[in-house]
A and B are shown apart, each in its own frame.
Chain A
């Protein structure tokens, strides 16, 4: 059974600081996704990482993937209040028709002024 673990589950940080969210998964997968969810809202796709060593950046967020270590990181640079949200990583279990995603528990990020 594929398991996905995120840490920390709760993160309170000050504006301007840097931090990293970690996502570990238990079985081989070549596809990892990061999503953002604001309270009461739906999930917004941030990144899809397709191969070992993949790195993607958008604004103050940068995601990377190490398939050998089964680890992805989401790095936040110089945090701002607008980044406050819950961040989920999700790992795809290989299917030929439609994809089954297993989500981590989510990291609730609060950025304080």
Chain B
């Protein structure tokens, strides 16, 4: 089973709203990732968690707040977003090993009004 699930599939929010994106995997992977992808562009790494600890933060604005409650779950809390934050948000997971292929979830398409 190489499935990463994400909810919701679509999210529309205003600039004053607070919302959360959820990601789940049951492959026993100990590294989890958040990416942002704009249309016709490659994914851009936002955060990496390794063994439930934040290991990489790619200078992401504080209006994005990641959380890793356990080894299977990854959340991204959103607050006071801007319209330019509208994008596809992808979650991925991998082993922490030499063969660390990242498996991506289906994504959450976020629209900020």
Task: Determine whether B105 belongs to the interface, using a CB cutoff of 8 Å to chain A.
Answer: yes
Chain B interface residue count, Cβ-Cβ cutoff 8 angstroms: 27
Q: Tally of A-B residue pairs with Cβ under 8 A?
A: 64
The answer to whether B42 and A99 have CB atoms under 8 Å apart is no
Residue with the highest number of chain B CB atoms closer than 10 Å, among A42, A88, A101, A105: A42
Interface of A is mostly: strand
Identify the B interface with A (CB < 8 A): 31, 33, 40-43, 45, 48-51, 55-56, 90, 92, 94, 96, 98-107
Provide a sorted-by-A list of 16 A–B residue pairs whose CB atoms are within 8 angstroms. A31-B100, A33-B101, A41-B106, A42-B104, A42-B106, A42-B107, A44-B104, A45-B101, A88-B43, A90-B42, A98-B56, A98-B94, A98-B96, A99-B31, A99-B102, A103-B43
Query: What 3 A-B pairs are tightest by C-beta distance, nearest first?
Result: A103-B42, A97-B50, A98-B48
